[in-house]
Every structure is written in structure tokens, then in C-alpha cells.
Amino acid sequence: MTAAARPAPAVLRAFRRPVGALAGAWLLLVIAAAIFAPLLSPYEYDIQTLKEAYQPPSAAHWLGTDEFGRDLLTRLMYGARTSLSVSAIAILISVLCGMTLGAAAGYFGGRFDRLVTVVVDLTWSFPEILIALILVAIIGPGTTGVLVAISVAYLAQFTRLTRAQIMTLKGETFIEAARSLGAGSGHILFRHLLPNALAPVLVSAMLATGDAIILEATLGFFGLGAQPPTPSWGSMMSAGSALLFKSPGIILFPGLAVAITVIAINLFGDALIAALDIRSRMRPPQ
Amino acid sequence: MSPLLELQGVSVAIAHAQLLDGISLRLDRGQILGLVGESGSGKSLTAMAAMGLLPLIGGRVTTGAIRFDGQDMVQMTEAQRRALRGRRIGFITQNPMTALDPVQRIGAQIDVVSRLHLGLSSAAARARTLELMTQLRIPEAGAVAEAWPHQLSGGMKQRIVIAMALAGEPDLIIADEPTTALDVTVQAQIIQILAALVRDRGLALLLITHDMGVVAQVCDRVAVLYAGRLAEERPVDPIFAAPAHPYTRALTLCIPRDDTARGALHGIPGAVPTALNYPSGCRFHPRCPKAVSACSATQPALVAYGEDGRVACHLPGPGAP
Amino acid sequence: MSQPLIRVEGLSRRFDTGGGFLKAPRSMWAVRDVSLAVGQGEVLGVVGESGCGKSTLARLVLRLIEPTSGRVLLDGTDLTTLGAADLRAARRRMAMVFQDPYSSLDPRYTVADVVTEPFVVQRRPVPPGAVAEMLEAVGLPASAAAGYPHQLSGGQRQRVGIARALALHPEFLVLDEPTASLDVSIQAQIIELLSGLRDRLGLTYLFISHDLGLVRYFCDRIVVMYLGAVVEVLPDTTTAPRHPYTRALMDSSFSPDPAQRRTLAPLAGEIPSPFALPAGCAFADRCPRADARCLAERPPLDGDPAHPTACFHPL
């Protein structure tokens, strides 16, 4: 490992690769659209104008309107707010909990480690969607339910990756050197182990955000996500599915938004892995 | 008689980096030539060139000739070179742990060499394998032949690697740091076995090592490499008694002898330059205690020195720095 | 010998391998009943081949691993019974230099971070100018402070490791094969550096090495280990060895002098597995002098207190 494993300059280096730059540009565009949606759009996302329903793309409505006459592009931008923020926050919670659990298990070992490993292996063997559906069924539909569901669904992945990183790093001589100076667990964990484990976990989190967007859309499609009139990409597709032949744009555009965004996240993640030179560290040996 | 192995002005490049520059060496049958120098001096690359293995690491000979028994290996086809390797040129690597196939029994790995190169039947190959193992003082050769590599110690594995190198009845053995990974008492055994084999069978051995003690113990001649160039090449006795090149002298002063007084051990200041920033003139001049202005200006030619020796230095020989 | 700074008494350490599916748990003694003393200002060499326990001993002395039994006294204080806070305070007085100059420095730390880490760990302010001062002491330019370890050569990294060890002005350093992964030219530089620092700062060293020639050059007294136990303590670097293993070790290190070529009766066999220690002398099956008693009984380390030898038939 070299100093190339420092994340901040690596993001810039990822942008220097053509694919990385293209993917990164799309992600910046989507994020900007989500943040500045109220400023960018002359329409409201929830005002129904039934006489303007089912309009094809035009100069006034770039992507047309839906069955209630609402501007699709506007709803797509507001939908990005829900979809991106729910996915990102869920993954953030998942990463924080996963890193804490994985670091504690990997560093302290013993019974706690065995317990964590068993639970993680158990969850690992269920598909994420199943875990998420069960949790939403328990908590109830809505943004909070989806948030918790996605967090828990990806917890195993980050716990496992962090634990493997910590276990490997623990054997490095610089850890022993720190102990020989009198360093306690806190210093070793927060000054050596976690900073060195961070890069692969962050990249993995970035890639998982892509998966989480799909999971969020899926839950939304089943009507379990954000409740009307708040748009999300999944609930928009759900509404559009009934109107597939009447007005294909209603399902097509949110679908494309999900697809292109997830592809962009994956491509940018790959560029980041290459820039960080950590490909070999991404999959923990089992 | 023509030498068994002769390198004539060999230069080697990988991509745009010129890593070896005009290396000339010769090695006769029954002789052990030691190739010494610090890491990064080009020792292993010289061995790769002599084995015709440069394409493996993306390298190529840019000028010069590598003659094995009179034939130029640079001009050969890859098939011709492959026919030489294992059959007439044996190779012993530094790390015996990775030189053996972990999922094949020891005996089978040695058998295959003589079956492939000498056309022996399975039974004849096994008989030869056991004979070789006995010569290498491997106890209970029959049982060891049925063992797996992971069941053997490092010293035993290195003997197996030597047996593999010998199985094709080669004329030349190239050994790249054959004992570096071993304990000293085991190293002493292996070096002595290797030297005895060369003498008894009239083989030639190109011994690459960083250990001047090993060189003094078994080599007939010594070639000292520095930063991709030959610094000095002479018979072993005079090169230790009165090194001509300041680099050779510095290398011998790095190792404590029984009579080295406290504080008399001198390292060589600085480090070996990389191919990207070779100094002008003599590449050793920034680290040389004797350097004068000519040393940074012009590259010293490799000229005859003493009895049957050659040195590349503007101020060769003993004398206060 | 002057007043001992470090006294090791009956130190032992057993390692148990866990066992598992179809695998019985096994245990081995990496260090067996080692006693030694390092005088104030002395350089004590510990020499032996792989598996002799010298690196485990180094870590036991600094209590980086816990002993199974035995004591380590630093200036009379038993390190093995100290609580966390007292142990951390004691660590200011001792430090370690590691073998691998690559993995012993955190790749995300700058050189300045590395050499100031001891202050951070001990919660002490970094004295102004300390970084440049430390780097100068180990022969590095002050400009190296801002760089990362991967920009340095192996020898320079080892100098950084030495600077880190010296940061809190310890009295006692454990040097665990500090030159084993360096070129001889660089090894000599590092040895001279350590030698100069010892003279200037009055340091005490425990020097671990597999290279008897180097140990004989650098150390005042030499402890020879074989399979976890001390077989001989040489009182100085010129005294002839009494233990056949020490003799074999000396014969095996070739002198860089073609005039001293020799044909050795090479030592037969290799070091036995520490998991299956023989009942008698651990060296007996390779020893030319071994008899029935050596195979049956373990020889104690005794004889001349200044030159103890664990052998029934010393040379």
C-alpha cells in the first residue's frame, strides 16, 4: 500500500480517467438537480393540473407530464431528492454501525467476534430485498421504514469488510511499534487501524449506494417507500407501470434515471478503486 | 577452448530504461563465477539474460551477444532457447518455497525433468531421481520422493530444487541467491554440496549472491556489478587481497571479519541510483571516496588489470582515498 | 559487568495453536527458561537460527507479549506485573527497532508523524525543534520530515524507525534484526549509526541477530540460543566457544577472505520441530559429540558463571 491510498486526492485522480470523469459528471448533475430542484423548476411537484395530463415531451415540459398533469422532469428532480438522500443516509448509517461492529470484532476478537461473525454470516445468506421487505413489514411503509430496512440490509457487508481489514492491519509491524511506545487501544484503533481501513470501506459504501438506490426504488415500486404525493423514483415507476402503453414516459424516465445513476456510481467506483490502487483489498479473503 | 558461457558487451533494456550496459563475462567448465553487487545493481537481470528469460519480464537485449557453447542465444528462436533451458542450463532460484509445485509429489517433480529432456522412461527417471537425491545427501530419498513440498523444511526444499536443476544433466547452472532464504548452518551445507558438484561433474556455476563470505568460500572468479555496469572482474584471491575498484573495496569493508576493530566497519554512503537517474561518468562517483573531477566527466573503460583481471576505474588499485 | 539495567529471570513462553476441524490443538515452547542480564551501557547480542525464540524473547523483554512464567526487571522494577498506566510510563525508558523497515512505519504517517508519535502516545508536548533534531541524530535531512515512508529507501526508513525509538530518550533499546533486510552496504551504515548513538547517549542494547559475524563485531557479550533455550553465553567476542552448536554456527559463517577457505564437516540435519522437542539436549541429534546421556537428559546451563554452557561434553 502506498500513499495513493489517501482518499481525497484519489477522488480527483478518478476524475482524470475518461470513464470516471463522465460518470462523475452525471452524479454531480443528479446531485445538483436534487439539491436545487425548487430553483431549477418553474413547476411544483404536487400541484395537479388534470387538463395537462399525459402530455408528450415539449418545450414547456421537457419530459412531458404524468396522469395528473404534473411536470415529469420536476418530479424526477424531487424524486432524486428522496431516492438519493434515503439511499445515501441509509448507507451512511450502515457504514457507521458496520465499521464500529467490524472494528470492535476484528480488534478485540474473542467471544464478541464469534457472535458478530455468526450473525453477519447468517444475514449474509439472505438476499437484501428479503431482509428489507421483512423489516418494512415490521416497521410499516414510509421513509423511516425504508431507511432502517436498507441500513440493516447492508450492515453485514460493511461489518465483514471492516473486520477483515482490521484483522490484516493488526498484524502489521507498525501496530506492534505503536504498542511498544505505550499506545493503548484507542490510539491504535483511531490513529492507525481505522484510517488505514477507511479507503476500501468508503469505496465499498459508494458502490453499495448504487445497490441501495435500486433497493429503494424496488420498495417504492411496491408502494412501501415514500407516500404520495412525495415523489420517489420507485413510486413514480409504480404509478407508470399501469400506464405503460398509454404514456410510456411516466415509467421510462424514472427507470432511466435509476439505471444511469447506478451505472455511473459503479463506473465511478471502479475508477476510484483504480486510483486508490486497492483492488486486491476490496474482497475480504474468506 | 571456447568458454561455455560468454557475454559480450550485453546491454539490456526494459521499456525505455537501459538497465544493463555493456556487460562482458566468461565462464568455463569446472569454474564458479560469483556475481556480486547491491540490490538494484543488475545481478538478477544478468542471470535472466543468460537464461534467455528476458521476454518474461518485458526486457530485451539491445546490443551484444550471449554465447552458450559457441551459439548466440540472442539470435536463437524461442524454441531453441527453450530446448537449452532445463537440459543444458539448470536454474536454482532464491526462494525454494515458491519454486516447487505444491500439489505434486517431490519425486514426480524431479522425474519430469529427465523424462522431458533425456527421454527416460518413468522407471529410469525415478531411479535417476533417487540417485540424485542421494548425491545431495537427502536421507531416506525413497520416502522424501513420495512426500509433498509442504512436508519438507526450507533446506530440504532447496536440495530438491538443486536436484531438479541437475536432472537434465546440464553443463551450466545459474543460481540466483540460492541460500539467502536459509539458516546459516543449512546455507553452509548447501553451498558445499553445490561446490562439490561443480568440481566433480565439471559443471560451470554462475553464482549470484550478495554474500561476500560465500563468494570468498567457493568462487574462482568474481564479477562486481554496479548500477548496471561491470566494475571489476578478477580471480577471487587478488580481488579480496587487493581490490582494484573502490566499489569492490567498499563492499568487502562492509562485512566484519574476525579481526575487524570496533568502528572500522564502513558502510557505503548513499544508495544505488535507479536507472532513471544514473549519474554521469562513472556511476559510482557520487559514493566514491577516491572520486576526482574526471570521474564525473567521463565513463571509465573496462581495461585489463593485474593477472587475468579487468577493472573500470580512472584510479584503480590500492592507495589512500 | 556493571550494574545490570535489565534482568531476565526464568522467562518462558508457550504458544498454543488452536486446533480445529480434524486438527488436534498443539503447543510449543518458543522460549524456555531464559535468564540473562544486560549491564548499564552494555550491548548484549542474542544469536540463533530461525525458530530459536530470539524474536519472541525480544518481545517478552519489552512485554509486547505476556510471558507464561518468569520475570523481567528494568532497574529492579518487575515489568511483568505492572498495571497499564505504570507500564506506559516504563515504556518511556525502553524502545524497539524492528526488522522490517517497510511494515514498521504506518504508510499514512509522514516522517514527522512517525517520530512524534511517541510524544502523542505518552501525552507529552512535542518539544520545539525536536523533529529536525531527531532526524539529524540519525543522519537524515530535516527536509525528510514532510515526506512519506514510501518515498524513502530501506536504509532511510530504518533510520526513521531508529529516530522514533530514540524520541523519548530511552535508556534501553531492543534491536530485532535491524539490518537483516538491508544490503550489506546499508547494514554497515546502520550498525555504525547505532554504535555512535550508543557511545554518545550511553544507551544499553539487546541486539537480536542471526548473523554471528555481525554480533561478534557489534556486541560485548553473546547469548547463543537454540530451540528456545540459551545454550551458551560468551563473555566476550574473542573467547572460544564451548558448546558444539556455537562452534558449528561459527564455522558456518564464511569469512570474506579466500585465504580462510575451509571444508567443514557440515552439521547434519536441520533444526527439529519445536512442537516435538526431544527429551534430552535439543541439539543432540545433530551433534557430533552426543552420547546416550545427551539423548536422555537435558543439560543445564552451568559451569563457569562468566561463561555458562549447556552441554555435558563441552569443547
Contact C255 B153 (CB under 8 A): no
Distance CA C305, CA C236 (A): 13
Q: With the C-alpha atoms ordered A135, A137, A143, A144, is the resulting torsion angle positive or negative? A: negative
pLDDT tens figures, A150-189: 999 999 999 999 999 999 999 999 999 999 999 999 999 9
Sequence spans of domains, chain A: 16-37+63-281
Q: Among partner residues A3, A177, A182, which is closest to C150 by beta-carbon distance?
A: A3
* Helical pair B154-167 and B184-201, crossing angle rounded to 10 deg: 20
Chain C residue with the nearest C-alpha to that of A172:
C103
- Among A106, A133, A96, residue whose Cα is nearest residue A189: A106
Q: For chain C, percent helix, then strand, then coil, each to nearest 5?
A: 35, 25, 45
Decide if C57 is inside a domain. yes
- Give Cα B299 distance to the centre of its chain: 25
Q: Does any CB of chain A come closer than 8 Å to the CB of residue C239? A: no
Q: Which fold has domain A16-37+63-281?
A: MetI-like fold (1.10.3720)
- Tens of pLDDT along chain A (286 residues)? 344 445 567 788 888 888 999 999 999 999 999 999 888 888 888 888 888 888 888 888 888 888 888 888 999 999 999 899 999 999 999 999 999 999 999 999 999 999 999 999 998 888 888 999 999 989 988 888 999 999 999 999 999 999 999 999 999 999 999 999 999 999 999 999 999 999 899 999 999 999 999 999 999 998 888 888 888 899 899 888 888 888 888 899 999 999 999 999 999 999 988 888 776 666 544 3
Task: Please enumerate residues of B whose Cβ is less than 8 A from a Cβ of C.
Answer: 38-39, 153, 155-156, 183-189, 191-192, 210-217, 236-237, 240-241, 250-258, 260, 262-263, 265-269, 271-272
> Looking at chain B, which residues constitute the CATH 3.40.50.300 domain(s)?
5-88+170-311
Contact C188 B240 (CB under 8 A): no
Max Cα-Cα span within chain B: 67
Decide if C170 is inside a domain. yes
Domain B5-88+170-311: CATH superfamily is: P-loop containing nucleotide triphosphate hydrolases (3.40.50.300)
Which residue range(s) make up the domain with C161?
Answer: 4-13+31-252+267-296
At A55 the pLDDT is: 85
Ramachandran area for residue A111 (φ above 0: left; ψ -120 to 50: alpha; else beta): alpha
The answer to whether residue C98 scores a pLDDT higher than 80 is yes
What residues in C contact A191, CB-CB < 8 Å? 117, 120
Contact C108 A172 (CB under 8 A): no
Decide if C313 is inside a domain. no
Q: Among partner residues C96, C109, C121, which is closest to A187 by beta-carbon distance?
A: C121
Decide if C120 is inside a domain. yes
pLDDT tens figures, A185-216: 999 999 999 999 998 999 999 999 999 999 99
Q: What is the number of structural domains in chain C?
A: 1
Collapsing DSSP states into helix, strand and coil, what is residue A24?
Answer: helix
Chains that touch B (3 or more CB pairs under 8 A): C
Mean local confidence (pLDDT), B55-77: 91
- Which of C257, C273, C283 to probe by mutation at the B interface, max B CB count within 10 Å? C257
Decide if C47 is inside a domain. yes
A281: distance to nearest CA of chain C, Å? 15
| ipTM here | 0.90
Decide if C307 is inside a domain. no
B219: distance to nearest CA of chain C, Å? 9
Q: What global pTM score does this model have?
A: 0.88
Q: Among partner residues A181, A183, A196, which is closest to C108 by beta-carbon distance?
A: A196
The answer to whether residue C97 scores a pLDDT higher than 70 is yes
C274: distance to nearest CA of chain B, Å? 13
Q: Does any CB of chain A come closer than 8 Å to the CB of residue C225? A: no
Answer for the pair C178, C99: CB distance below 8 angstroms, yes or no.
yes
Q: Give the number of A-C residue pairs with CB atoms closer than 8 Å.
A: 70
What residues in B contact C183, CB-CB < 8 Å? 38-39, 210, 272
Decide if C53 is inside a domain. yes
Q: Does any CB of chain A come closer than 8 Å to the CB of residue C146? A: no
Residue C303 — pLDDT band, cuts 50, 70, 90? confident
What residues in B contact C191, CB-CB < 8 Å? 265, 267
What residues in A contact C93, CB-CB < 8 Å? none
Q: What is the CATH number of the domain that holds C128?
A: 3.40.50.300
Spatial strand order of the sheet with C204-209 comes to C94-97, C172-176, C204-209, C43-47, C221-226, C229-234
B80: distance to nearest CA of chain C, Å? 37
At A286 the pLDDT is: 39
Ramachandran area for residue A110 (φ above 0: left; ψ -120 to 50: alpha; else beta): left
